[in-house]
Every structure is written in C-alpha cells, then in structure tokens.
Chain A
Amino acid sequence: DQQVKQNSPSLSVQEGRISILNCDYTNSMFDYFLWYKKYPAEGPTFLISISSIKDKNEDGRFTVFLNKSAKHLSLHIVPSQPGDSAVYFCAASAQRGNNNDMRFGAGTRLTVKP
C-alpha cells in the first residue's frame, strides 16, 4: 500500500534554478514529514522535516511546504547546485515516536546540470 507517493521518478534542473520535489500521501493520520537525500552507495541522509502544525519549514537553501488539505508536501531547493544531485525520499509518520508508521516514497532522482 503506497501511502506515500512520489510520482516523479526523476527531475532535471539547471544549476542556479529552483528544484521542486513533490510528495503526496493518503493517510490523514500522518503528522510528521521528513525528506531524506541519498547518494549512491550511501544510506539516506536526513535533510529537513516538518510537523503538521506548520505549513512551512526553511533551512538554508531547503524549504519544505505542507498542504494538509491536499495531503501534499514539496521540497524546494534554491538555488540548485550540482552537489544536490541525488535521490530524494519523502517520508511520513503517523505519530512521532512510532517508527512503524513511518512510510517512505519511492524516491525522486534529481539531476542538477552545471
């Protein structure tokens, strides 16, 4: 059951432009959302998170937006850099403190061209 969906398997953007990665979820009980970045041959690295009490969280070049009514979140990277090229996983949890309900999307491969 794909409760977390990343419908774009890949995305290519030019260096300096904005990258927007999207994620949709179906479980209205999810209240904590995370983005992970994964380079080849490495494990996923935590990037940024957002709680359902917020609709935006910003950390440097990375901003996550949450639209609870649409069950949609997005990760904005601006400006994009070639080092941002990686696979990005969206994750959602129904209750902070319960890893069992943390579901991951299939990932979106971002390529930032110089």
Chain B
Amino acid sequence: KAGVTQTPRYLIKTRGQQVTLSCSPISGHRSVSWYQQTPGQGLQFLFEYFSETQRNKGNFPGRFSGRQFSNSRSEMNVSTLELGDSALYLCASSLQSGETQYFGPGTRLLVL
C-alpha cells in the first residue's frame, strides 16, 4: 500500500505570495492533518480534515487554510506569505480521526 505523498517536496516563494501544498493520504484513510515543523518548535498542529470537513484547527492565523476532496486528498493554502512561514509542512493521514497517524515526507517551504 502506497504511503502518504506530498507535492511539491521543495518550494521557494517570496513574501506576499501565496502557496498551495498537496497531500494524498494512504488509500482508505479519511482523516488528514497538517503540521508545521520549525527548528526548536517541534510539530505544531494546523488543522485536520475528515470526510471533506474541517474537524479541528490549531492556533494559526487565517492566512492558513485548507480543504479536503471527496477522494480524501487535501490541499493547504497559505496566503500573503511571511518570512516566518518558512518551515517543513507535514501531512499525516489516519483511518479515523484520533487513530495513529502516518506522515508524508513533507514540503519544505522557503520564503525569501
């Protein structure tokens, strides 16, 4: 069974731009969560989608948004990029919400 895939793997943007990241969960998994990883901060929860509905949201500004499609694939969008948005963005999927999560390789975003 294929794992969680994320595209693109690397991305360079400039301040003020917007970016869309994509995540394809493991087949059959309905829950998709997004995390931001920065040095020294660990993994910080962004939001979780389950059956095309946002189920939970972390403490991030409204510039961070996402959605989930009927095939459980998910996208994350960040508008008006700031330098501090430079991070590794990880997507994780699970069969059901709260079950063990399986992570993708991440998208490394650099904002210049």
Residues of A within 8 A of B (CB): 4, 6, 34, 36, 41-46, 49, 89, 91, 93, 95-100, 102-107
10 example contacts (A-B, Cβ-Cβ < 8 A) are as follows A6-B42, A36-B103, A43-B4, A43-B6, A46-B100, A93-B98, A99-B31, A104-B35, A106-B40, A106-B41
**Which of A44, A49, A95, A97 lies in contact with B43, CB distance below 8 A?**
A44
Does any Cβ of A come within 8 Å of B106's Cβ? yes
Partner-binding segment picked from B14-22, B52-60, B75-83: B52-60
Does B65 touch A at the CB level, under 8 Å?
A: no
Chain B residues within 8 Å of A49, by CB: 100
A-B contacts besides A99-B101, A104-B44, A106-B41, 5 pairs, CB < 8 Å = A42-B105, A43-B90, A44-B90, A98-B97, A99-B45
Judged by a CB distance under 8 angstroms, whether B33 is at the interface is yes
Pairs A-B, 9 closest by C-beta atoms: A43-B103, A100-B56, A97-B98, A104-B43, A106-B42, A104-B42, A99-B48, A96-B98, A44-B103
Decide: A107 and B42 in contact? CB cutoff 8 A.
Answer: yes
List which B2-43 residues lie within 8 A (CB) of chain A. Answer: 4, 6, 31, 33, 35, 40-43
Q: Which residue on B lies nearest to A102, using beta carbons?
A: B45
Instruction: Let me know if A99 and B44 touch, CB within 8 A.
Output: no
Q: Give the tally of cross-chain contacts (CB within 8 A).
A: 64
Known contacts A34-B100, A43-B92, A44-B103, A100 near B48 by CB under 8 Å: yes
Which A residues are CB-close (under 8 A) to B35?
A: 104
Instruction: Decide if B101 touches A46 in the complex (CB within 8 Å).
Output: yes
Give the shortest distance, in Å, between A62 (CB) and chain B (any CB): 15
Which of A36, A43, A98 has its CB near the most chain B CB atoms (within 10 A)? A43
Chain A residues contacting B96 (CB-CB under 8 Å) are 97
- The closest CB in chain A to the CB of B40 belongs to A106
CA distance A24 to B43 in the complex (A): 16
- Interchain nearest-CB distance for B66 vs A (Å): 13
